[in-house]
Every structure is written in structure tokens, then in C-alpha cells.
Structure 1
Amino acid sequence: MEADKIGALPGQPNGVDFNHYSGYVTVDSKAGRALFYYFAESPDKSSTKPLVLWLNGGPGCSSLIGAMMELGPFRINNDGKTLFRNDYAWNNVANVIFLESPAGVGFSYSNTSSDYHHIGDKSTAKDAYTFLVNWLERFPQYKTRDFYITGESYAGHYVPQLAYTILLNNKNANQTLINLKGIAVGNGWIDDRTGYLGRYDYLWTHALNSDETNKGIHAYCHHFNDKDPNECDDFQSKSYVEQGDIDGYNIYAPLCPLDFSSSIKNSNDSVNSFDPCSDYYMISYLNRPEVQTALHAGVAKWHKCSYSIFGWTDSPASILPIFKNLMATGLRVWLYSGDVDSVVPITSTRYAINELKLPLKTAWRAWSTDNQVGGYVEEYEGLTLVTVRDAGHLVPSYQPARSLTMISSFLLGLLPPP
């Protein structure tokens, strides 16, 4: 544990009042496969706070996106060299692990190159579970702590699959018991058919697609796989062209200018206004040799999403059966959704929930942060839906204060405040 402790990150601001750690945990010693993590403890009474795992999606994208652009304790300034504090970081209310998974993503690796050709949902869940068991040996004080899994996008697969794997292994008498209490998935891809249908209906209702294109999709696209006629593909292509050059992950956000260096501001960035060029600052920062050294990372070219993984071997068309299983165990299950994301939009999440046909417990209502409507909440038997107003696909990037209110409520087992 002490070997993984970070002395200081290059360019970090003064007054860092929490411990943070990073390094590798071996998940298969024979193959030489190891996963990289960054762990930020809570600055305030960390021993009383729960443990939260964060997973970004892709598949094949790094959870350091979550750490450096979304919910982590720092954001990167536009110089790509220095950091500033995120006042709304989730480690205010929890101890947060960011895991780069599977091997081949970010700094995570395998010494057996054939591993990169045989990666899919099953192997990802298995390795993430092994990571947790081994990580808890390194940080034994967290073994009995309440544990939650969170993530976004394709983590709509990762999060429930890992939760299911944990519950299965917890039945094993000689296994480490992981004290899993709940899962929260943001703008999660959980069901292919409702996912695509929700996307195209969102584009149409948000004035990004024509009536004709939407009608065509409803007429020809029933499965969103190779069972559909060619016309379905044609209308999907039309839908893409019609929206023009916008950021699908936040339909109202500006794009990063092509020559973003000319737009660099002198002042330090604010956590309340998300810079559309943040990707570039993060890539620049994480590829600095002194940063990689401070993180105890194997010196490598760090990519936001992996170029090492060739093909994805298994990905079920729907994760809804797993959600049903998890809900049956009494696990806390939240689906939250930034409402200006068109890639995995709120409509997709609502259509997927409708497939479950759950009784309603608490009717749709607004919730608030700082005397402003932060979004809307609806509670079903076994599942809670929360929207985050004016947030894109990466909810904490665009609405840090609202996302902190949302996740604090989730961890307390309360609906967000009215």
C-alpha cells in the first residue's frame, strides 16, 4: 500500500489534504496481466466513508477520464501541465478507485499479446473481480467497508456484470466477502434495441433529425442488427448526416476549435465551465514522463481509448436480465442520465426501464441543488431513475455540483432533495 502512495502529482495545487495512491494489481501472474488504478481517499474522515469503484465505458476507454475530467479530485489546466482542485469531486463523500480495465486500456497491460484478441464482457468482469480481491489484500482496512460500483456509458455492461460476479463469488465460503451495497450507472448502454430506438427518438424530439428520417427508422428498424432490411441502415446514415457537426455527447456544447492552442486562455480554468478541449489537456498531461513516474505507471504512450484491443468477443444484446437478478437481491440500483446527451440519451434509459415493467413507488418530481432544479427523479420498485439537467454524457464534467448531490443521495440511500 505505501509503495503505491503518490508523493505529489506534477503541477498539483497547494493544500492537497487527502492521500492518493496508484499502481498495478496483477490479475493473472501466468499471463503477466496487470490492471492500473488510481485511488483518491476522502479528505474528511475517510475511515467512515464508503468505497466506490468508478468505471468508464468504451468498451476500451480509460477510467482516468473519470479521474481527470469528471469526478476526480483534480482537473487539468489548459497548459496540459498543471492541475486545479475539483471542489465537487466524489471523494468528498467516498473513497474512490478509478480502474483502467480491461488489460490493454490506458496503463493496464498484459505480457501475453494474444490476450488483446480475446477480450470481452466475461473476461473483463472476471479480471475486475480478481483486481478487487487482490486490491483489498493491499488495502485491508477497506475489506469490510460498504462498497458501491459506479460508471457510465458501456459501463452499463461492466457495472452490473461485475456486481453479479461479486454476488456469485460471495456465496463461496473461502472467497473474500465484498460488501457490495449498490450500483449507479450514468447514461448507460444496457439494451441494444431500446438504446438505438431511444437515440433516434431523442435526435428527432430535439430538432436534430427530420420527420421523414424518424418515420423511416420506425418503419424499417425493429432489431437494430442484421435482421433489419437495408433501408434501416440508410435511414440511420441519414440521421447521422442530418445532425451536422455537433458534439453528440452534449448537443448544446461548443466543439473544441481545430487550432485549440490559439484559444488557450491565460486564466486557470473553473470547474464550473467545462472546456471542450479538456481531452487534449488530459492526453498531454498523462503522457508527461514525470507524471507517469509520479503515478507509478509503466512508461507508455497513454491513449484515452485503447488501440491495443482487437475485436470484442462477447457483448450481450441486453443486460436487463442481469439488472432483474440484481434487483431481486435487494441491491440498490440507480440509473442516472445527463439530459443533453444524444449518444446514450435519457430516452434510451426510459425505454429500457419500461421493458422491466416495474411498479412505480415515487412519482416523477424535480430535485434541487443550490435552489435550482438539478434534474428529475422517479423511483420504481427496485430501481431509481435520476436525470441531471443540462448534463452531457459525462455527467460530472458538465454539472459537477449536481452530480455530487446526486451521488451523495445515492450513497445515503435517499432520493435527491426536492
Structure 2
Amino acid sequence: MWSRRAEPTVSQGGGLFCFRNKFANKPRIHTSLFRPFFLRIIPPKTPARTVSYPASMASKYPSLLFLLLAASSLLSTTANFDAPGLAKDADFIDELPNQPESADFRQYAGYIVVEPINERRYFYYFVEATGLNPASKPLILYIGTHVVDLQGSALLSAFQQVGPYSVGDDGQTLYSNPYSWNKFANVLFMEGPVGVGFSVSSNGQDIYKCSDLQLIDETYKFLLGWMQRFPEHRNADIYLAGQSYAGVLGPGVATYILFKNSQPNATHVNVRGILMGNPTLDVDLEFAVRVDSSYQMNILSEEIRDEHHRLCGSRDPAKYTDCLKPLQEESLARYALDDNSVYAKFCPNIDLASVGLDNFKTTVYDCVDQYVAGYLNIPFVQGVMHAEGPAWGPAIWQPYARSLEFSRNITDSTIFLLRALGEGVRALIYSGVLDREAIIPTEEYIKKLNFTIASEWRPWFDNSVQVAGFTETYREGLTYATVRGAGKKVMADKPRCGFILANSFVTNSHLPRSNFELPV
């Protein structure tokens, strides 16, 4: 067990050194070698052994989709066959290295088997809610994100956005997050699929392929297995949360849970809501209108926007070659902008000699991701968090699974969102207005739903005088909110506003108004 007072050890191999900081009076871990390391690790690609799911009917026939998923579930068990009490105790984290002195909550980390044939194991990090009787509070399952076409780890959000701690710029020190979501809920961070973060398989050939449908199925199995290990949370109200890809995975998992709940002798899961940040909801719609957001931000010229609409808007295969020109023009116009926010700050102390076209964004903007990677790649930290390596080598944590082949067989999540809302599951869509691709596609998507407005478009506030964004609610159970001054990572850019958003939604309360609003 790690102790803050324990003397640090020194690696004799010359790779890493542990030393005591005379100012902080606690062990420190030198990790400078790790910061760029995750960018250079590319595991050997091998054929994957995964369950295949038909892609053609995924969006149109959800009942058939769930029958296919249910049939695949017969090939494997739906939960771990471990001794829940022993496994839970083994997953307990006394404290993380270099975390702040005081913590009034418990935390756990470990693995849940989602497919026993290849021992596909999803890694999780769980933080209990603060205060008395945490089991009486809701449970938020935080799923991963993605950027471009890379599947991302939920631990990024855990250690830079919504978890109890954030990693400092030394890649070693943890600082308390005053806007952690565990102040109002239990938060369970899931890394999936296998190949993302610390999630592993005993079969080295099984790591590199997955699909939307497979991930929905395995997320459900993960949740059942986790609740078996933590039975005090079996009756909790469950909320699914995440960014970007949560627009597909959130509605998909929620609807699959509802489908499984209706089956005889099924374990009932109380899914109550979905929180989706700057979500990808309809790929075709997003592709067709995303340039309008960039145009309004003065990133693209009117000529490029119009050319994109004319040649790319219809997704006509016959115009594919013609569409390449405006796509290339778009790419050139925004290549030097961060993918998360058009006004993102660049990293401090950039070595300009190391910056090139192939690593521009990761070097200039992704320093926070590298801080998290530096911390999670410390062997001591991995040991405390019970992280294990894959069959082919040691544990190496990367923010994004660059070697994962992921099949997108759900391009439009509308049918799943409608089914979930129709059965009483509420949904929150929130968008940071500085994400160059989110605002207009999201508003066009909501317009397509043709919902009935329950509360008209209005500003919402974080302190009665500061406009945090704008919001509108619908009778069908959907809330839409924008966040000013934030990009794709709302919880990192505007943590207080993000906290208010999530807390208000989980407690089913209205976003705050101003005490000085004009009468209607």
C-alpha cells in the first residue's frame, strides 16, 4: 500500500528516478521521459478476433439490432464470476501518488471482464460521491470520447475535467478539482473498447478491432459486471455521460438497457438520463453543415463554404472527386487550429525546433493530454491503480487508441434517442460555442427532431449576472444548452459552468436564471 510518508525508491536501471521534493515534503516522481512517449508507441498490428455485427440495418431497425446483440451475448457471460467482496477490496485505492492531503471519498480501479473467451477486460476508475451514504446518490457512467477518428480514454476526462483531481503541468502532481462531479454523484469512468487506455485482452490478436454495436453490447456487460462487484449501487439511478462519441454510444447503450430490461429474468438497470457534450449525432448531417460553423467564425471564406455545399452537401458518390477540392481547402484553412476550441491556448515552453506538420497539434495544443499521460505512465501510479499490460507487453497508457480499427456502423443515433426519450429517459445536449464543428450541426439536428418547445430559448447564468450560455427545453425530455467561452471540452474550458449543467440535469432542476432578468 502506498504511503505518503514512505521513502521513495530509486530505479537502478537508469530509466526513472523517484526523489523527495524538499519544498512539498512528499515523494515526487520524475516523468519527463514519459511525456512524448505515448505519441511514439505504435504496437504491432495483428489480425483481430472479434464478433462481427451486420452494419447495414443498424440505424433503421433497432429491434433487430438488439436481437443481434442479444444473440451475441449468448456466446459469453454477461458479468464477472468473481467473489464481489474480495474483488472490490482488491480494487480499493488507499490514495493516489501525490494526491492532495485530504479526501472525503473512496476510490477504486480495476478490471471488469466483458468477454471471457478472449478475456476482454475493460479498465475502470470509480470515485464515490462525497458526504454520507454515497450509495444513495446517482451513478454517472462516464464513457470515452473521440477526436477525428480516434477512440479516446475516459481517464482524460477523469484527470482534466470532471474527476476529483487534475494533473499538474509537471505530470506528477494531482490538484483538487473544486468542480468534480463526485460532489453530487458517484462517477464511474470506463475505458473501452479493448485497446483504449489500460483495457486489455489476454489474446494479443483481439485488441485492434471493434464497432459501435460491439461496444454497446460490451458496455452493457461492463455495467452488469461492475454492479455485481458493487452491489450497493444496483438500484442507483444511472446516467450515461461523455463527449463527442457519446452522441452515438449514449443513446445506443440507453436503448439497449431498456431492451434488456424488458427481457425475462434480466437484471434491471435504472437508466435515467444521457449527458452529451458537443455530440456526434448524425454523421451525414454534420458533414453537410459543419462548414457553416467555421464560416461564421471567419475560418472559411464564403466561396469555400458555398463550394462545399454545392459539391459535398448531398454526399453523392458521383461527386466524390469534385468534393476533394473544398475538403482540402477546409483542411488547409484550419490545420493550425486546435480540434477542441478555435481559441485554445498553446502549450507553454514549446520547442519550436521540434514542431512539424506531422506533430503540429499534438506539440502546440495537447500538453494537458501529455500531462495526464505522463502521470498514468508512471509504473508506481499504474501499480496503485492496479493497471495491467496487454498480452504482448507492458502497460502503456495513451490518450487515444491510434492503432484501434473502429467500425462506425451507426451513423445516425436519432432512432435510439427517440426510443430512449419515449420510455422516460431524459437527455441533455450541451455545446461549447468555440467548437468549430458543433453548434450549427447540433441545432440542425434538434430542428430535425421537430420537438415541442416546453421552455423558450433564454440565457442561463452562473452567478446571476454572468451569462453562461443559452438554453431551451422540450416536452419530449430533451434539454439543449450552449456554453459561452468553451470549446469541445466544456468541463475543462468552463469547469464551473459544466458543473452547474451536470448538477442541474441530474437533480432535474432548471438551469439558473438571473435575479435581474427583464420581465417577459
Which interval holds the TM-score relative to the shorter structure? over 0.9
1:228-282 per-residue CA deviation (whole Å, 9 max, x = no partner) reads 43222211210121235121311112222573699xxxxxxxxxxxx96211111
Q: What are the equivalent positions in structure 2 for 1:333-372 lying under 5 Å apart?
A: 333-343=427-437, 345-371=438-464, 372=466
- Quickly say closer, same or farther: Cα 1:248–1:225, change in 2 above 3 A: farther
Asked whether 1:138 is paired with 2:211, we answer no
Q: How does 1:8-407 map to 2 (within 5 A)?
A: 8-45=95-132, 46-58=134-146, 59-224=150-315, 226=317, 228-257=319-348, 259=350, 277-299=367-389, 300-309=395-404, 311-343=405-437, 345-371=438-464, 372-382=466-476, 383-407=478-502
Contact 1:409/1:416, CA 8 A, preserved across alignment:
yes
Which amino acid in structure 1 is aligned with residue 412 of structure 2? S
Alpha carbons of structure 1 residues 154 and 260: separation in structure 2 relative to 1, 3 Å: farther
Query: Tell me, what secondary structure is at the counterpart of 1:249?
Result: coil
Post-superposition offset of 1:227: 5.2
User: Counterparts of 1:278 and 1:137 in 2: how far apart (Å)?
Assistant: 35
Secondary structure of the 2:239 match is strand
- For the Cα contact (< 8 Å) 1:375–1:388, is it kept in 2? yes
Deviations 1:135-188 (A, max 9, x none): 001000000111110111112111111111111111123221111111111100
Q: Which residue of 2 aligns with 1:271?
A: none
The 3-state SS of whatever aligns with 1:204 is helix
Residue 227 and residue 159 in structure 1: after superposition, are their counterparts in 2 closer, same or farther (change >3 A)? Answer: farther
Instruction: Say if 1:105 and 1:308, in contact at 8 Å, map to a contact too.
Output: no
Q: Which amino acid counterpart does residue 365 of structure 1 have in structure 2?
A: R
Unmatched segments (≥5 aa) in structure 1: 263-274
1:17-41 deviations in whole A, cap 9, x for unaligned?
1101000011111211100000011
Q: Partner amino acid for 1:347?
A: I
**Equivalent-residue separation in structure 1 for 2:163 and 2:181 (angstroms):** 7
TM-score (norm 1): 0.93
Q: How many residues align?
A: 404
The verdict on how the C-alpha distance between 1:4 and 1:246 changes in structure 2, with shifts beyond 3 A counting, is same
**Structure with max Cα Rg:** 2
CA distance in 1, matches of 2:179, 2:319: 45
- Code of the residue aligned with 2:102 in structure 1: it is G
Q: Distance in 1 between matches of 2:281 and 2:433?
A: 17
Residue matched to 1:267: none
TM-score (norm 2): 0.75
Q: Where in structure 2 are there 5+ consecutive unaligned residues?
A: 1-87, 354-364, 390-394, 514-520
- In 2 relative to 1, CA 166–66 (structure 1 residues): closer, same or farther, beyond 3 Å? same
CA–CA distance in structure 1, aligned partners of residues 161 and 351 of structure 2: 20
Q: 1:153 to 1:224 in 2, by over 3 A?
A: farther
CA contact (8 A) 1:32 1:112 kept: yes
Q: How many Å separate the matches in 2 of 1:338 and 1:314?
A: 24
**What amino acid maps onto 1:26 in structure 2?**
V
Structure 1: distance between partners of 2:232 and 2:139: 11
